[in-house]
Amino acid sequence: MGKRLPIIPYRHDLIEKARWLRKNSTPGEIELWKGLKGRQVLGYKFRRQQPLHSFIVDFYCRELKLAIEVDGISHDYKIEYDRDRQYLIEQFGIHFLRFSEPDAKNHTNSVIMQIEEWIVDNR
C-alpha cells in the first residue's frame, strides 16, 4: 500500500468560490484543462480551482505538490499579492509553474510539454 499524501489545509468557505471559478474559467484555463484532465500528463491527476490554505490555485497535482497558475489580466495589477500568496503556499512544500493566459490559450501543447519537462526533472 502506498504512502498517504498529506492534505494541505484550506478554508472551507473557498469551496463555493472554487466552484464558481470552475464554471467561469478563462479561455486559457479551459484549453489547459483539456490537456491536464483525465491523467493525460504522464499519468498524474490534476484538479482545477483547488483551495489551498487561504487561496485557490488554478490547477493542482497533489502527488507532485505542483500548482499551476494561468496569469491573465486579473493578475496584471496584483503582482505583489501573487508573490506573497505564492510564498505562503510554497511553505507547504508546493512548487509553482506560471503561464500567461495567451500561452495557455494559444500554445497549449507547448505549455503541456513544459509541465511534462518539469515533472520529469523534479519527480
Supply the pLDDT for residue 116. 98
For residues 65-90, give the mean pLDDT. Answer: 84
Look at domain 27-122 and name its CATH class: alpha beta
Distance CA 121, CA 79 (A): 27
* Average pLDDT over all residues of the chain: 91
Distance CA 6, CA 42 (A): 21
Supply the pLDDT for residue 62. 94
Supply the pLDDT for residue 122. 95
Phi-psi region of 61 (alpha: psi -120 to 50; beta: other; left: phi over 0): beta
Q: Percentage of the chain surpassing pLDDT 70?
A: 93
Burial bucket for residue 5 (CB in 10 Å: 0-12, 13-18, 19+) = exposed
In 9-117, at which residue ranges do the beta strands (DSSP E only) sit? 47-52, 55-61, 66-71, 95-100
Supply the pLDDT for residue 72. 79
pLDDT class for 79, splitting at 50, 70, 90?
confident
pLDDT class for 77, splitting at 50, 70, 90?
low
Supply the pLDDT for residue 81. 85
CB atoms within 10 A of CB 74: 10
Q: Which residues pair with 109 in a beta bridge?
A: none
What pTM did the predictor assign? 0.89
For residues 63-83, give the mean pLDDT. Answer: 82
Residue ranges covered by each domain of the chain: 27-122
Asked if residue 75 has pLDDT above 80, the reply is no
Supply the pLDDT for residue 95. 97
